[in-house]
Amino acid sequence: MFISEAFAQAGGEAGTGEFLISLLPLILIFVVFYFLLIRPQQKRMKEHKEMLGALRRGDRVVTGGGIIGQVVKVADDEATVEIGEGMRVKVVRSTIQSVLSKPEPRGGRGRRRDEDEDEAEESEGDSGSETAASGGKGRR
């Protein structure tokens, strides 16, 4: 009555060309994922590993928890970070997210530091004469 007869279509054998065409969208999706997701993530992981390898005493770092501090000691898998005056914590090296600043190397900068100290002493001398001239009410 209301039910019509269903006729099965004769199925032909799928050729290799049709099989490759049906796999083409999956291959394209994988290629797009590789270049947009996998490759940049691998690059980021490599840069992070190099940063942790170059970690040394005196670096200002940010930990995974958002704590900013200065590296006091570096061991194999952990680092001691000073987050306040006399307040030190041990953190796992892999939880260090970024290095904010690195200390300048000691070699070749000694003369400049002496010059900077001389300039600082001169500026303190100038501010001292200003305070004496203003009746000692100047700020330091």
- Please report the pLDDT score of residue 19 as a whole number: 85
Separation between Cα atoms, residue 44 and residue 50, nearest integer Å: 10
- Please report the pLDDT score of residue 20 as a whole number: 84
- Please report the pLDDT score of residue 14 as a whole number: 54
Residue with tokens 């306040």: 84
- Please report the pLDDT score of residue 11 as a whole number: 54
**95: nearest Cα among 46, 52, 44, 47:** 52
Q: What is the pLDDT along the chain (140 residues), one digit of tens a residue?
A: 577 676 666 555 556 778 888 899 999 999 999 999 999 999 999 999 999 999 999 999 999 999 999 999 999 899 999 999 989 999 999 999 999 988 877 765 544 444 455 555 555 555 444 444 445 554 44
pTM: 0.56
